[in-house]
Amino acid sequence: MSYVDTLRQWDEAVTCVDRQDLPEALRIFVAIQEKNSKIFFNIGCLHLLNKDLDAAEKAFDCSIGKDEHLAVAFFQRGMTFYKKERYEESLADFQYAFKALRGNQLIDYKALGLRYKLYACEVLLNVALSEAQLGNWEKAHEKLVKALDYKTDAKLNLIDKALDSALRQKLFKPVEFPSKVLFRPNKHYVAELEKKDYLGKATVIASVIPQDAFSGFAPLQPQVEDGPTRPKEPEVLRALEGEPHTVLFEFVPETSDELAVVPGNIVFVLQKGADNWASVIFNERRGLVPYNYLERLEISLASKKNEGQGVSQPPTREPPTRPERKPGLTPVGNSRGETRKKDEGPTDNSYIVKLRFTFNFAVSVPPESPYAVLIETVSKKLKVPAAAITLSLTSKVTEESVIDASTEMESVWSRASSRRITLWCKATEQTDGNQKSEIHLVAIHSYESSNPEDLSFQEGDKITLLSRINQDWLEGQCNGNTGIFPASFVEEVPVNGQ
């Protein structure tokens, strides 16, 4: 069967799916003689819709055999194993899918003909669910906390709900791939491939011979002297902003202007400060990363370096010492004008408490600290009265998760892993009477932002004020979303006008 016939049948099959004629689509897919990994994937999805789990498993086996880097195929086979209650195998496949993401927050398969984005946080949720099915609740909790680091979309609140369920040792729903979303062939190729003549016929454009009608191949010509000694860099690479660097060690930010990266990520350095901190771009976000965690990457020679070699493994040695922050270097393009000092380095036996606030930050406290020491440390960090701060074990503040003066701190510190623990933090405005009261704002201008930590709203929207970041930025809640926004875009609603 020619490639043209394969494309035609492939297109015919997905058209049948659009018409809801799934049996005919499956028949056409199975009849294709030269199946690639995408076609096998489509067959597996249709078998899943028919609840034929054995046939789906075989199809995804073939898809992975054709392309061992297809993360979405591992994800679907893991879902097949999960439905067959083979949780150890589903765990392994979900882990393979996460590994195939190579440290990225998501993979958009649109360029390959699949209208689907595979999110790392969703893959980790299914990893955690498989661990929970095996009774490994502590590992499930760790994976969900890790999933929060890859959370990129405010709509993905299912991670928070799953974490809340895991803390109560209750199972939660898995993230499932929409099985009717299939890999599609390029329709332009289907329509045009048969009538295209890629070689064509040679035509004389210019010749020193009058009325030269020669068509064929010209003899070898002398090579140009002083030719290029190295291949030219592609225009798309030269257009990227900043100098490319590879991340060598995992970096956990401690202030809002620092950026989380893991080994293998490629960042673009915009500016390097004298204190060994660099302002970089990663996943369209800008922030600070220690320069000694990075290694310069020569893009133009990357193809030569990788010939005959596998993917380089992350370094096994310990990361270098975190450099001291000196005033002056801020992320390029940071319009908020906000500078934050780094926390003082913890002692060897101190506990590192990572707090999820409007921005993520970390503080260090003595081991087994009482609640008064912890809340006072957080209060000094945020410059907010301790009475206005609420700490909790989960993103959802409940009677079971909240941490206050009556909490047995031994149970809190027992959750720490390697002297590190993650908590959630909220702050509310207070009146002079020292009682919490809500302050309402109204948007006088519309505000749209691509940053996930920002709050977008339209003119006239009502916003509940949660905290004041500084004189220029506020934190609030609007239409069920929480984030930060410019103070100049809103005005306070009078009490009698609420």
Q: Phi/psi at 463 (nearest 5 deg)?
A: -125, 135
Is residue 394 over pLDDT 60? yes
Whether 365 and 445 map to the same domain: the answer is no
Helix count (H) and strand count (E) of the chain? 14, 17
Q: What is the pLDDT of residue 364?
A: 86
227 or 102, which is more confident: 102
Percentage of residues in the chain having pLDDT higher than 90: 18
pLDDT tens figures, 147-166: 888 876 655 677 888 888 88
Rank 72-81, 181-190, 329-338, 423-432 by mean pLDDT and report only the highest: 72-81
Q: Does residue 224 sit within a domain?
A: no
Q: Does residue 216 sit within a domain?
A: no
Q: Range of 455's domain? A: 439-497
Q: Does residue 202 sit within a domain?
A: no
CATH code of the domain containing 264: 2.30.30.40
Q: Give me the sign of the Cα torsion angle 442, 444, 449, 454.
A: negative
Whether 14 and 70 map to the same domain: the answer is yes
3-state secondary structure of 488: helix
Residue ranges of the alpha helices (H) in 351-439? 371-382, 409-413
Q: Does residue 454 sit within a domain?
A: yes
Domain final position from 113, 141, 167: 167
pLDDT tens figures, 269-313: 888 887 788 988 887 778 889 998 998 886 544 444 444 444 444
Q: What is the pLDDT of residue 299?
A: 54
CATH code of the domain containing 359: 3.10.20.90
* pTM, two decimal places: 0.43
The H or E element spanning position 50 is none
Q: Does residue 138 sit within a domain?
A: yes
Domain final position from 371, 394, 427: 427
Is residue 256 over pLDDT 80? no
pLDDT tens figures, 433-454: 444 457 889 999 888 876 667 8
Asked if 251 contacts 260 with a C-beta cutoff of 8 angstroms, the reply is: yes
Number of domains the chain is built from:
4
Q: What is the pLDDT of residue 334?
A: 44
Whether 23 and 84 map to the same domain: the answer is yes
24 or 236, which is more confident: 24
3-state secondary structure of 26: helix
Q: Does residue 387 sit within a domain?
A: yes
Whether 290 and 375 map to the same domain: the answer is no
Domain final position from 143, 167, 191: 167
Q: What is the pLDDT of residue 201?
A: 55
Whether 155 and 10 map to the same domain: the answer is yes
What is the full DSSP assignment across 78-115? HHHHHHTT-HHHHHHHHHHHHHHTTT-SEEEGGGGT--
